[in-house]
Amino acid sequence: MKKILLIGHFGFANRGCEAIVRGTIEIIKKTVPDSEILMMSNDPQNDEKIRIAEELPISKIITSKLEGKKRYTPEWIWQTIDRRLISKNMSFYNYLLKSEYEKVDVVVSIGGDNFTDDYGSPKQYFDCLNLARKLGKKTVIWGASIGPFREREQEWIDMLRNYDLITVREDKTKEYLLKNGLTDNVRRVSDPGFLMEPKKPQNWSKPNNEILIGLGVSDLIYKYNISKEKYLSTNAAFSDCLIEKMGGNIVLVPHVIKAGLKDCDDYYACQEVLKRINNKEKCSILPQNLNAAEMKYCISKCSYFIGARTHSTIASLSSGVPTISIGYSSKAWGVNVDLLETDNYVLHYKNFDISSLEEKTDSLVKNRDCIVSLLNSNLRRVKDNSLKGGIYLRECIE
């Protein structure tokens, strides 16, 4: 039985991370059934609760925040000697990871866009795979967007050549790697989140039989040099505009929920938008205790969806819902071109204003039948491409 360790996962508080994990598990269990899945997490306690409640087939969740032995104990003395002398002054973090990596056969780095500059330097993710490779483990980057790197590009490209398998989720990434001479270990797939099955929640139902428009509000967008107040007030004004023009109801969708952390909590951002909406009786926020599969179910009941978080739009598009993606990285364009054969329904975050939103929405409504038809015809291919990742993984580790 092959032991597969998933790394690069932040925690299920980010429903996109959860969608990647759920899709990845489904892929591995279908294509590498004789395997055991372990996972490292930045939020192991919360993830463990969900693993048990949802009966996810992960045998163990390991904390990414590993701690060494207590100072000045015999174990600490040996650890220090081993790390500094025997392991040739290995970094403390890598030294602690080493014992976990030694127990598995393959290390798979998930996370979607960890190997980009979107959230800072990808160095830590390269370091983890380099350590696994040094220990003789198979190394895989999984369902990823990669680059383009603005700094240290050649260094990162040279490292990428050494990994056993890189599966990429859009053509732009494949073309970027090809331009830099990476072909032998690169395979084109689709995001594993496309395979996550929706689950009906107990504490939510679609309001009435009217049009329901989902609006994915993200605290992330106003970190891209957009005024926080402008972002929140634009969402509110746009919601009032949609209600007036289309009737129906608005549901605000938070996709990253970290209670008490206002700087990284979409639910808080949704509450702030709701405060600014005039037609409050026509608006609601999805419950914050829904998991990723339950959120996908709610999103699937929308007539239209406008979202910034990538996996909220993957949830809508994979449910056949006409969608506008608020793009802040290449992945938004890649997903849209893959499914809709156009990027006409991606709105760059720099153009996030009422007139642009209205223009995109008008086009979405006008071309609804064509969009739904395209989604229905392309989804099977995209889901099959997601599953191919498991076939490539099996070939890699056999």
Q: Please state, as a whole number, how many other Cβ atoms lie within 10 Å of the Cβ of residue 114.
A: 23
Q: Are residue 242 and residue 374 in the same domain, yes or no?
A: yes
Do 307 and 266 contact (CB within 8 A), yes or no? no
Q: Which residues pair with 271 in a beta bridge?
A: none
Task: Report if residue 204 sits inside a domain.
Answer: no
Q: Are residue 28 and residue 175 in the same domain, yes or no?
A: yes
Q: Are residue 188 and residue 217 in the same domain, yes or no?
A: no
Answer whether residue 26 shows pLDDT above 90.
yes
The tokens describing 345, both together, are: 């329904």
3-state secondary structure 100-160: HHCCCCEEEECCCCCCCCECECCHHHHHHHHHHHHCCCEEEEEEECCCCCCCCHHHHHHHH
Ranking 76-85, 102-111, 250-259, 359-368 by mean pLDDT, the lowest is 76-85
Q: Are residue 243 and residue 136 in the same domain, yes or no?
A: no
Q: What is the pLDDT of residue 79?
A: 62
Give me the sign of the Cα torsion angle 173, 166, 169, 189.
positive
Helix-, strand-, coil-residue percentages of the chain, each rounded to 5: 50, 15, 35
Cα separation, 240 vs 233, in Å, equals: 11
Between 206 and 188, the more confident residue is 188
Q: What is the pLDDT of residue 264?
A: 73
Q: What is the pLDDT of residue 339?
A: 87
Q: What is the pLDDT of residue 392?
A: 97
Q: What is the pLDDT of residues 352-369, one digit of tens each?
A: 899 999 999 999 999 999
Q: What is the mean pLDDT of residues 141-158?
A: 93
Q: For 178-205, give one letter per residue: b (16+ CB within 10 A) or e.
A: eebebeebbbbbbbbbbbbebeebeebe
Q: What backbone torsions phi and psi does residue 282 show, to the nearest 5 degrees? A: -100, 5
Q: Are residue 221 and residue 365 in the same domain, yes or no?
A: yes
Q: Are residue 44 and residue 86 in the same domain, yes or no?
A: yes
Show the domain range for 352: 212-379
Q: Are residue 168 and residue 290 in the same domain, yes or no?
A: no
Q: Are residue 218 and residue 334 in the same domain, yes or no?
A: yes
Q: What is the pLDDT of residues 202-213, one digit of tens each?
A: 988 887 778 999
Q: What is the pLDDT of residues 58-86, one digit of tens each?
A: 999 998 877 766 777 776 666 666 666 66
Q: What is the mean pLDDT of residues 110-119?
A: 85
Q: Are residue 372 and residue 391 in the same domain, yes or no?
A: no
Domain count, the chain: 2
Task: Report if residue 360 sits inside a domain.
Answer: yes
| 316 to 142, 159, 347: CA distances (angstroms) | 22, 35, 16
Q: Are residue 221 and residue 349 in the same domain, yes or no?
A: yes
- What CATH number does the domain containing 171 carry? 3.40.50.2000
Q: Which residues pair with 74 in a beta bridge?
A: none
Report the percentage of the chain scoring pLDDT > 90.
68
| Predicted TM-score (pTM) of this structure | 0.90
Q: What is the mean pLDDT of residues 328-356?
A: 85
Q: What backbone torsions phi and psi does residue 260 show, to the nearest 5 degrees? A: 90, -10
Give the position of tokens 């929140």.
232
Answer whether residue 260 shows pLDDT above 60.
no
Cα separation, 249 vs 281, in Å, equals: 9
Q: Are residue 337 and residue 231 in the same domain, yes or no?
A: yes
Answer whether residue 258 shows pLDDT above 90.
no
Between 83 and 217, the more confident residue is 217
* 334 band by pLDDT with thresholds 50, 70 and 90: confident
Cα separation, 123 vs 114, in Å, equals: 9
Q: What is the mean pLDDT of residues 348-352?
A: 86
Q: What is the pLDDT of residues 305-322, one digit of tens each?
A: 999 888 999 999 999 999
Q: Are residue 235 and residue 303 in the same domain, yes or no?
A: yes
Answer whether residue 251 shows pLDDT above 80.
yes
Do 257 and 46 contact (CB within 8 A), yes or no? no
